[in-house]
Structure 1
Amino acid sequence: MARTAARKAPAARAVAEPTQQALKSAQTRARLIEATIRCLIKYGYSSTTTLKVAAEAGMSRGAMLHHFENGGALMQATIGELMERRLRAFRRAVDNPAPDVHTLVHTYWKQLLSQTFTAFVELAIASRTDKDLARILEPAQEQFRQRWYELAIQLFPEWQQDRKSFDLALALTQNTVEGMAINRLIHGCDEAMIDPVLDNLEAQILALRPKKKKG
Protein backbone atom coordinates (compact mmCIF):
# COMPACT_ATOMS: atom_id res chain seq x y z
CA MET A 1 0.00 0.00 0.00
CA ALA A 2 2.80 2.44 0.95
CA ARG A 3 4.67 1.65 -2.28
CA THR A 4 1.47 2.15 -4.30
CA ALA A 5 0.85 5.51 -2.62
CA ALA A 6 4.43 6.51 -3.29
CA ARG A 7 4.08 5.62 -6.96
CA LYS A 8 0.86 7.67 -7.21
CA ALA A 9 2.25 10.78 -5.51
CA PRO A 10 4.33 12.01 -8.49
CA ALA A 11 1.28 11.61 -10.74
CA ALA A 12 -0.76 13.79 -8.37
CA ARG A 13 1.91 16.48 -8.49
CA ALA A 14 2.01 16.24 -12.29
CA VAL A 15 -1.71 17.00 -12.41
CA ALA A 16 -1.34 20.02 -10.12
CA GLU A 17 1.54 21.61 -12.06
CA PRO A 18 -0.35 22.31 -15.34
CA THR A 19 -3.17 23.88 -13.32
CA GLN A 20 -0.74 26.27 -11.68
CA GLN A 21 0.81 27.04 -15.05
CA ALA A 22 -2.62 27.65 -16.57
CA LEU A 23 -3.45 30.09 -13.78
CA LYS A 24 -0.18 31.95 -14.32
CA SER A 25 -0.83 32.07 -18.06
CA ALA A 26 -4.37 33.43 -17.50
CA GLN A 27 -2.99 36.14 -15.20
CA THR A 28 -0.42 37.15 -17.81
CA ARG A 29 -3.07 37.26 -20.54
CA ALA A 30 -5.25 39.46 -18.32
CA ARG A 31 -2.27 41.76 -17.71
CA LEU A 32 -1.71 42.10 -21.45
CA ILE A 33 -5.38 42.82 -22.12
CA GLU A 34 -5.36 45.50 -19.41
CA ALA A 35 -2.24 47.00 -20.98
CA THR A 36 -3.98 47.03 -24.37
CA ILE A 37 -6.95 48.92 -22.93
CA ARG A 38 -4.61 51.51 -21.38
CA CYS A 39 -2.77 51.90 -24.70
CA LEU A 40 -6.03 52.39 -26.62
CA ILE A 41 -6.95 55.20 -24.24
CA LYS A 42 -3.50 56.81 -24.19
CA TYR A 43 -2.46 56.44 -27.85
CA GLY A 44 -5.58 55.57 -29.87
CA TYR A 45 -6.09 52.45 -31.95
CA SER A 46 -3.81 53.37 -34.86
CA SER A 47 -0.85 53.92 -32.53
CA THR A 48 -1.47 50.90 -30.29
CA THR A 49 1.22 48.45 -31.38
CA THR A 50 2.31 45.14 -29.91
CA LEU A 51 5.58 46.79 -28.88
CA LYS A 52 3.74 49.48 -26.91
CA VAL A 53 1.43 46.95 -25.30
CA ALA A 54 4.35 44.77 -24.25
CA ALA A 55 6.14 47.80 -22.78
CA GLU A 56 2.96 48.93 -20.99
CA ALA A 57 2.66 45.44 -19.48
CA GLY A 58 6.35 45.39 -18.51
CA MET A 59 7.13 42.48 -20.82
CA SER A 60 9.17 41.80 -23.92
CA ARG A 61 7.36 41.52 -27.24
CA GLY A 62 8.56 37.91 -27.51
CA ALA A 63 7.03 37.04 -24.13
CA MET A 64 3.78 38.68 -25.21
CA LEU A 65 3.66 36.67 -28.44
CA HIS A 66 3.92 33.52 -26.35
CA HIS A 67 0.40 34.30 -25.08
CA PHE A 68 -1.06 35.99 -28.19
CA GLU A 69 0.29 34.92 -31.55
CA ASN A 70 -0.30 38.34 -33.13
CA GLY A 71 -1.94 41.72 -32.63
CA GLY A 72 -5.23 40.48 -34.03
CA ALA A 73 -5.52 37.74 -31.42
CA LEU A 74 -4.71 40.22 -28.67
CA MET A 75 -7.29 42.70 -29.97
CA GLN A 76 -9.94 39.97 -30.19
CA ALA A 77 -9.34 39.02 -26.55
CA THR A 78 -9.42 42.71 -25.55
CA ILE A 79 -12.74 43.29 -27.30
CA GLY A 80 -14.18 40.24 -25.54
CA GLU A 81 -13.06 41.62 -22.17
CA LEU A 82 -14.50 45.06 -22.89
CA MET A 83 -17.88 43.53 -23.76
CA GLU A 84 -17.85 41.39 -20.59
CA ARG A 85 -17.10 44.43 -18.42
CA ARG A 86 -20.05 46.29 -19.88
CA LEU A 87 -22.33 43.32 -19.28
CA ARG A 88 -21.11 42.91 -15.69
CA ALA A 89 -22.28 46.46 -14.96
CA PHE A 90 -25.76 45.51 -16.11
CA ARG A 91 -25.71 42.28 -14.12
CA ARG A 92 -25.14 44.36 -11.00
CA ALA A 93 -28.32 46.25 -11.85
CA VAL A 94 -30.18 42.99 -12.43
CA ASP A 95 -29.15 41.87 -8.94
CA ASN A 96 -30.84 44.94 -7.48
CA PRO A 97 -33.90 43.62 -5.60
CA ALA A 98 -36.08 46.51 -6.79
CA PRO A 99 -34.74 47.89 -10.09
CA ASP A 100 -36.45 50.92 -11.57
CA VAL A 101 -36.11 53.08 -14.67
CA HIS A 102 -34.04 55.70 -12.83
CA THR A 103 -31.58 53.02 -11.67
CA LEU A 104 -31.27 51.55 -15.16
CA VAL A 105 -30.69 54.89 -16.88
CA HIS A 106 -28.16 56.16 -14.34
CA THR A 107 -26.33 52.81 -14.08
CA TYR A 108 -26.01 52.86 -17.85
CA TRP A 109 -24.75 56.46 -17.89
CA LYS A 110 -22.16 55.84 -15.15
CA GLN A 111 -20.89 52.83 -17.05
CA LEU A 112 -20.35 54.96 -20.15
CA LEU A 113 -18.13 57.35 -18.20
CA SER A 114 -15.63 54.54 -17.63
CA GLN A 115 -12.41 53.83 -19.51
CA THR A 116 -14.05 50.64 -20.75
CA PHE A 117 -16.45 52.64 -22.92
CA THR A 118 -13.70 55.05 -24.03
CA ALA A 119 -11.63 52.12 -25.31
CA PHE A 120 -14.69 50.61 -26.98
CA VAL A 121 -15.49 53.87 -28.82
CA GLU A 122 -11.89 54.08 -29.99
CA LEU A 123 -12.23 50.60 -31.52
CA ALA A 124 -15.69 51.24 -32.96
CA ILE A 125 -14.55 54.37 -34.82
CA ALA A 126 -11.40 52.67 -36.10
CA SER A 127 -13.41 49.70 -37.40
CA ARG A 128 -15.15 51.97 -39.93
CA THR A 129 -12.05 51.91 -42.14
CA ASP A 130 -10.13 48.92 -40.72
CA LYS A 131 -11.81 45.84 -42.20
CA ASP A 132 -9.76 43.38 -40.15
CA LEU A 133 -10.85 45.09 -36.95
CA ALA A 134 -14.46 45.23 -38.18
CA ARG A 135 -14.45 41.45 -38.70
CA ILE A 136 -13.54 41.03 -35.02
CA LEU A 137 -15.73 43.78 -33.59
CA GLU A 138 -19.02 43.25 -35.47
CA PRO A 139 -19.81 39.72 -34.22
CA ALA A 140 -18.79 40.74 -30.69
CA GLN A 141 -21.15 43.72 -30.93
CA GLU A 142 -24.01 41.51 -32.07
CA GLN A 143 -23.45 39.09 -29.21
CA PHE A 144 -23.30 42.01 -26.76
CA ARG A 145 -26.61 43.40 -28.02
CA GLN A 146 -28.34 40.03 -27.61
CA ARG A 147 -27.04 39.51 -24.08
CA TRP A 148 -27.78 43.12 -23.10
CA TYR A 149 -31.35 42.70 -24.35
CA GLU A 150 -31.78 39.54 -22.25
CA LEU A 151 -30.48 41.30 -19.13
CA ALA A 152 -32.74 44.30 -19.72
CA ILE A 153 -35.88 42.15 -19.99
CA GLN A 154 -34.87 40.46 -16.73
CA LEU A 155 -34.86 43.90 -15.11
CA PHE A 156 -38.38 44.67 -16.31
CA PRO A 157 -40.34 41.45 -16.89
CA GLU A 158 -43.61 43.40 -17.16
CA TRP A 159 -42.45 44.47 -20.64
CA GLN A 160 -42.74 40.87 -21.83
CA GLN A 161 -46.34 41.57 -22.83
CA ASP A 162 -45.35 44.45 -25.13
CA ARG A 163 -42.03 43.71 -26.80
CA LYS A 164 -42.60 46.40 -29.45
CA SER A 165 -42.68 49.14 -26.82
CA PHE A 166 -39.79 47.48 -24.98
CA ASP A 167 -37.65 47.46 -28.13
CA LEU A 168 -38.44 51.13 -28.69
CA ALA A 169 -37.60 52.04 -25.08
CA LEU A 170 -34.32 50.13 -25.28
CA ALA A 171 -33.31 51.72 -28.60
CA LEU A 172 -34.22 55.15 -27.26
CA THR A 173 -32.11 54.54 -24.15
CA GLN A 174 -29.10 53.19 -26.00
CA ASN A 175 -29.01 55.86 -28.71
CA THR A 176 -29.64 58.75 -26.31
CA VAL A 177 -27.20 57.74 -23.58
CA GLU A 178 -24.42 56.39 -25.79
CA GLY A 179 -24.76 59.33 -28.18
CA MET A 180 -24.43 61.77 -25.29
CA ALA A 181 -21.42 59.83 -23.92
CA ILE A 182 -19.67 59.95 -27.31
CA ASN A 183 -20.39 63.67 -27.60
CA ARG A 184 -18.87 64.12 -24.17
CA LEU A 185 -15.69 62.33 -25.28
CA ILE A 186 -15.26 64.68 -28.23
CA HIS A 187 -16.10 67.76 -26.13
CA GLY A 188 -19.40 68.32 -27.91
CA CYS A 189 -21.66 67.91 -24.88
CA ASP A 190 -22.99 70.63 -22.63
CA GLU A 191 -22.42 69.22 -19.13
CA ALA A 192 -25.32 71.26 -17.76
CA MET A 193 -27.72 69.38 -20.06
CA ILE A 194 -26.77 65.87 -18.98
CA ASP A 195 -29.17 65.57 -16.03
CA PRO A 196 -32.11 67.18 -17.88
CA VAL A 197 -31.60 64.80 -20.82
CA LEU A 198 -31.48 61.78 -18.50
CA ASP A 199 -34.61 62.98 -16.67
CA ASN A 200 -36.42 63.43 -19.98
CA LEU A 201 -35.34 59.98 -21.10
CA GLU A 202 -36.74 58.46 -17.91
CA ALA A 203 -40.07 60.18 -18.55
CA GLN A 204 -40.22 58.85 -22.11
CA ILE A 205 -39.47 55.30 -20.97
CA LEU A 206 -42.14 55.48 -18.29
CA ALA A 207 -44.65 56.73 -20.89
CA LEU A 208 -43.91 53.63 -22.99
CA ARG A 209 -44.17 51.19 -20.08
CA PRO A 210 -47.12 48.78 -20.29
CA LYS A 211 -50.04 49.78 -18.12
CA LYS A 212 -50.87 47.42 -15.27
CA LYS A 213 -54.08 45.50 -15.84
CA LYS A 214 -56.84 46.28 -13.37
CA GLY A 215 -58.22 43.49 -11.24
Structure 2
Amino acid sequence: MALATVRSAPGPRASRPPSAKGPTQQSLKSAQTRARLIDATIRCIVKYGYADTTTPQVAAEAGLSRGAMLHHFENGVALIKAAIVELHEKRLRAFRRAAEGDDHEPAAMVKTYWRQLQKPAFIAFHELALAARTNADLARILHPLQVEFREKFNQQAVQLFPEWQSDPERFAIAMSFSQTMMEGMAIGMLTGAMNEAMVEPMLRQMELQIIALKDEVMKAQPS
Protein backbone atom coordinates (compact mmCIF):
# COMPACT_ATOMS: atom_id res chain seq x y z
CA MET A 1 0.00 0.00 0.00
CA ALA A 2 1.43 3.39 -0.99
CA LEU A 3 2.43 5.85 1.71
CA ALA A 4 -0.19 8.49 0.97
CA THR A 5 -3.00 5.96 1.35
CA VAL A 6 -1.73 4.45 4.61
CA ARG A 7 -4.05 5.39 7.47
CA SER A 8 -1.74 4.84 10.39
CA ALA A 9 -3.01 5.48 13.89
CA PRO A 10 -1.69 8.82 15.17
CA GLY A 11 1.43 8.50 17.29
CA PRO A 12 2.60 10.74 20.10
CA ARG A 13 3.01 14.36 19.12
CA ALA A 14 6.53 15.45 18.25
CA SER A 15 8.19 17.74 20.75
CA ARG A 16 7.51 21.47 20.45
CA PRO A 17 9.96 23.68 18.56
CA PRO A 18 12.90 24.92 20.62
CA SER A 19 12.60 28.30 22.31
CA ALA A 20 14.31 31.45 21.11
CA LYS A 21 17.32 30.54 23.27
CA GLY A 22 18.42 28.06 20.60
CA PRO A 23 17.99 24.38 19.81
CA THR A 24 18.23 21.91 22.65
CA GLN A 25 19.99 18.57 22.47
CA GLN A 26 16.60 16.86 22.29
CA SER A 27 15.41 19.04 19.42
CA LEU A 28 18.63 18.39 17.50
CA LYS A 29 18.22 14.66 18.01
CA SER A 30 14.62 14.89 16.85
CA ALA A 31 15.66 16.77 13.70
CA GLN A 32 18.30 14.12 12.95
CA THR A 33 15.75 11.33 13.33
CA ARG A 34 13.30 13.10 11.06
CA ALA A 35 16.05 13.50 8.47
CA ARG A 36 16.85 9.77 8.73
CA LEU A 37 13.22 8.92 8.09
CA ILE A 38 12.94 11.28 5.13
CA ASP A 39 16.12 9.88 3.58
CA ALA A 40 14.84 6.34 4.20
CA THR A 41 11.57 7.23 2.46
CA ILE A 42 13.45 8.46 -0.60
CA ARG A 43 15.62 5.33 -0.67
CA CYS A 44 12.56 3.09 -0.43
CA ILE A 45 10.85 4.89 -3.29
CA VAL A 46 13.97 4.39 -5.41
CA LYS A 47 14.26 0.70 -4.41
CA TYR A 48 10.62 -0.39 -4.55
CA GLY A 49 8.71 2.34 -6.38
CA TYR A 50 6.04 4.49 -4.79
CA ALA A 51 3.20 1.93 -4.95
CA ASP A 52 5.18 -0.69 -3.03
CA THR A 53 6.64 1.59 -0.35
CA THR A 54 5.02 1.32 3.08
CA THR A 55 5.58 2.91 6.47
CA PRO A 56 6.96 -0.35 8.00
CA GLN A 57 9.50 -0.52 5.16
CA VAL A 58 10.56 3.06 5.79
CA ALA A 59 10.98 2.44 9.53
CA ALA A 60 13.09 -0.64 8.82
CA GLU A 61 15.18 1.23 6.23
CA ALA A 62 15.85 3.96 8.81
CA GLY A 63 16.73 1.41 11.50
CA LEU A 64 13.86 2.52 13.73
CA SER A 65 10.76 0.94 15.18
CA ARG A 66 7.42 1.85 13.67
CA GLY A 67 6.46 3.45 16.97
CA ALA A 68 9.53 5.67 16.87
CA MET A 69 8.63 6.68 13.33
CA LEU A 70 5.07 7.58 14.37
CA HIS A 71 6.49 9.86 17.06
CA HIS A 72 7.89 12.08 14.30
CA PHE A 73 5.37 11.49 11.48
CA GLU A 74 1.84 10.60 12.53
CA ASN A 75 1.05 8.83 9.24
CA GLY A 76 2.27 8.10 5.73
CA VAL A 77 0.78 11.33 4.38
CA ALA A 78 2.94 13.48 6.67
CA LEU A 79 6.00 11.42 5.79
CA ILE A 80 5.56 11.58 2.03
CA LYS A 81 4.89 15.31 2.20
CA ALA A 82 8.15 15.84 4.10
CA ALA A 83 9.98 13.68 1.54
CA ILE A 84 8.63 15.73 -1.38
CA VAL A 85 9.67 18.97 0.34
CA GLU A 86 13.18 17.54 0.79
CA LEU A 87 13.34 16.45 -2.86
CA HIS A 88 12.38 19.96 -3.92
CA GLU A 89 15.07 21.41 -1.67
CA LYS A 90 17.62 19.05 -3.24
CA ARG A 91 16.62 20.29 -6.70
CA LEU A 92 16.95 23.92 -5.62
CA ARG A 93 20.38 23.24 -4.11
CA ALA A 94 21.44 21.50 -7.34
CA PHE A 95 20.30 24.53 -9.32
CA ARG A 96 22.31 26.85 -7.06
CA ARG A 97 25.40 24.68 -7.49
CA ALA A 98 24.96 24.69 -11.27
CA ALA A 99 24.86 28.50 -11.21
CA GLU A 100 27.99 28.94 -9.07
CA GLY A 101 30.65 31.19 -10.54
CA ASP A 102 30.50 34.71 -11.88
CA ASP A 103 30.71 33.92 -15.60
CA HIS A 104 27.70 31.53 -15.73
CA GLU A 105 29.35 29.62 -18.56
CA PRO A 106 26.59 27.44 -20.12
CA ALA A 107 28.71 24.31 -20.66
CA ALA A 108 29.72 24.09 -16.99
CA MET A 109 26.19 24.79 -15.79
CA VAL A 110 24.65 22.17 -18.06
CA LYS A 111 27.13 19.48 -17.03
CA THR A 112 26.70 20.28 -13.32
CA TYR A 113 22.90 20.03 -13.48
CA TRP A 114 23.07 16.89 -15.62
CA ARG A 115 25.20 15.18 -12.97
CA GLN A 116 22.58 16.04 -10.35
CA LEU A 117 19.89 14.39 -12.45
CA GLN A 118 21.75 11.07 -12.30
CA LYS A 119 21.35 10.90 -8.52
CA PRO A 120 18.65 8.93 -6.62
CA ALA A 121 16.73 12.07 -5.67
CA PHE A 122 15.67 12.60 -9.29
CA ILE A 123 14.61 8.96 -9.64
CA ALA A 124 12.47 9.29 -6.50
CA PHE A 125 10.85 12.50 -7.73
CA HIS A 126 10.10 10.97 -11.13
CA GLU A 127 8.47 7.99 -9.39
CA LEU A 128 6.26 10.32 -7.36
CA ALA A 129 5.31 12.54 -10.29
CA LEU A 130 4.29 9.53 -12.39
CA ALA A 131 2.36 7.88 -9.53
CA ALA A 132 0.43 11.11 -8.86
CA ARG A 133 -1.15 10.87 -12.32
CA THR A 134 -3.46 8.06 -11.12
CA ASN A 135 -3.23 8.35 -7.32
CA ALA A 136 -5.58 11.09 -6.13
CA ASP A 137 -4.23 11.03 -2.55
CA LEU A 138 -0.68 11.58 -3.75
CA ALA A 139 -1.76 14.22 -6.27
CA ARG A 140 -3.39 16.26 -3.49
CA ILE A 141 -0.05 16.30 -1.69
CA LEU A 142 2.24 16.75 -4.68
CA HIS A 143 0.50 19.36 -6.81
CA PRO A 144 0.41 22.26 -4.27
CA LEU A 145 4.06 21.56 -3.44
CA GLN A 146 4.88 21.68 -7.15
CA VAL A 147 3.36 25.15 -7.39
CA GLU A 148 5.39 26.26 -4.38
CA PHE A 149 8.54 24.76 -5.90
CA ARG A 150 8.06 26.58 -9.22
CA GLU A 151 7.66 29.89 -7.39
CA LYS A 152 10.86 29.31 -5.38
CA PHE A 153 12.72 28.13 -8.49
CA ASN A 154 11.72 31.24 -10.45
CA GLN A 155 12.62 33.58 -7.59
CA GLN A 156 16.01 31.90 -7.22
CA ALA A 157 16.63 32.05 -10.97
CA VAL A 158 16.06 35.82 -11.02
CA GLN A 159 18.53 36.27 -8.15
CA LEU A 160 21.19 33.99 -9.65
CA PHE A 161 21.08 35.39 -13.19
CA PRO A 162 20.73 39.20 -13.01
CA GLU A 163 22.45 39.55 -16.40
CA TRP A 164 19.34 38.12 -18.09
CA GLN A 165 16.78 40.34 -16.42
CA SER A 166 16.63 42.96 -19.17
CA ASP A 167 14.79 40.33 -21.26
CA PRO A 168 12.60 38.20 -18.95
CA GLU A 169 10.87 36.50 -21.89
CA ARG A 170 14.09 35.06 -23.33
CA PHE A 171 15.23 34.18 -19.82
CA ALA A 172 12.02 32.22 -19.17
CA ILE A 173 12.51 30.37 -22.47
CA ALA A 174 16.13 29.52 -21.65
CA MET A 175 15.25 28.26 -18.16
CA SER A 176 12.24 26.23 -19.27
CA PHE A 177 14.06 24.82 -22.29
CA SER A 178 17.14 23.68 -20.37
CA GLN A 179 15.22 22.24 -17.40
CA THR A 180 12.64 20.43 -19.55
CA MET A 181 15.20 19.06 -21.97
CA MET A 182 17.65 17.77 -19.37
CA GLU A 183 14.99 16.24 -17.14
CA GLY A 184 13.37 14.67 -20.20
CA MET A 185 16.73 13.21 -21.20
CA ALA A 186 17.22 11.85 -17.68
CA ILE A 187 13.81 10.16 -17.84
CA GLY A 188 14.71 8.74 -21.24
CA MET A 189 17.88 7.24 -19.76
CA LEU A 190 15.89 5.73 -16.87
CA THR A 191 13.35 4.11 -19.19
CA GLY A 192 15.78 3.02 -21.89
CA ALA A 193 14.14 5.32 -24.44
CA MET A 194 17.34 7.31 -25.03
CA ASN A 195 20.65 6.05 -26.40
CA GLU A 196 23.47 7.01 -24.04
CA ALA A 197 25.62 7.93 -27.04
CA MET A 198 23.24 10.82 -27.71
CA VAL A 199 23.70 12.46 -24.30
CA GLU A 200 26.81 14.52 -25.06
CA PRO A 201 25.63 15.76 -28.50
CA MET A 202 22.25 16.71 -27.02
CA LEU A 203 23.82 18.57 -24.09
CA ARG A 204 26.13 20.40 -26.49
CA GLN A 205 23.20 21.40 -28.69
CA MET A 206 21.41 22.74 -25.64
CA GLU A 207 24.48 24.75 -24.64
CA LEU A 208 24.54 26.34 -28.11
CA GLN A 209 20.86 27.27 -27.85
CA ILE A 210 21.37 28.90 -24.44
CA ILE A 211 24.43 30.79 -25.73
CA ALA A 212 22.40 32.06 -28.70
CA LEU A 213 19.60 33.27 -26.43
CA LYS A 214 22.08 34.94 -24.09
CA ASP A 215 23.84 36.67 -26.99
CA GLU A 216 20.49 38.11 -28.08
CA VAL A 217 19.92 39.45 -24.56
CA MET A 218 23.39 41.01 -24.39
CA LYS A 219 23.03 42.65 -27.82
CA ALA A 220 19.72 44.19 -26.82
CA GLN A 221 21.19 45.88 -23.75
CA PRO A 222 22.12 49.56 -24.06
CA SER A 223 25.87 50.12 -24.40
TM-score, structure 2 normalization: 0.84
Give deviations 1:145-168, integer Å, cap 9, x for gaps: 222223323333221111111111
Is 1:22 the counterpart of 2:9? The answer is: no
2:48 aligns with one of 43, 52, 65: 43
- 1:88 deviates by 1.0
In structure 2, what is the equivalent of residue 199 of structure 1? 204
1:55 aligns with one of 40, 56, 60: 60
In structure 1, what is the equivalent of residue 110 of structure 2? 105
Give deviations 1:35-63, integer Å, cap 9, x for gaps: 11110010000010001001111111111
Aligned residue identity for 2:24: T
Structure 2 unpaired stretches of 5+: 1-19
> Aligned in 2, Cα 1:18/1:163: closer, same or farther, shift over 3 Å?
closer
Equivalent residues of 1:94, 1:154 under 8 A apart: no
Equivalent residues of 1:90, 1:108 under 8 A apart: yes
Q: Which stretch of the first structure deviates more once superposed, 162-171 or 35-44?
A: 162-171
- 1:214 deviates by 6.2
> Aligned in 2, Cα 1:102/1:154: closer, same or farther, shift over 3 Å?
farther
Equivalent residues of 2:98, 2:110 under 8 A apart: no
Equivalent residues of 1:80, 1:140 under 8 A apart: yes
- 1:185 deviates by 0.7
Give deviations 1:61-118, integer Å, cap 9, x for gaps: 1111111000000000011111111111222234423322122222221111110100
Aligned residue identity for 1:142: V
> Aligned in 2, Cα 1:102/1:155: closer, same or farther, shift over 3 Å?
farther
Is 1:77 the counterpart of 2:74? The answer is: no
Distance 1:188 1:65 in 2: 40
* CA RMSD of superposed structures (Å): 1.9
Distance 1:196 1:106 in 2: 12
> Which structure carries more helix by proportion?
1
Aligned residue identity for 1:137: L
Structure 1 unpaired stretches of 5+: 1-14
> Aligned in 2, Cα 1:205/1:17: closer, same or farther, shift over 3 Å?
closer
TM-score, structure 1 normalization: 0.87
Aligned residue identity for 1:183: G
Distance 1:17 1:85 in 2: 26
Distance 1:35 1:142 in 2: 25
List aligned pairs for 1:2-13, cutoff 5 A. Answer: none
> Aligned in 2, Cα 1:208/1:64: closer, same or farther, shift over 3 Å?
same
Distance 1:211 1:24 in 2: 50
Is 1:211 the counterpart of 2:214? The answer is: no
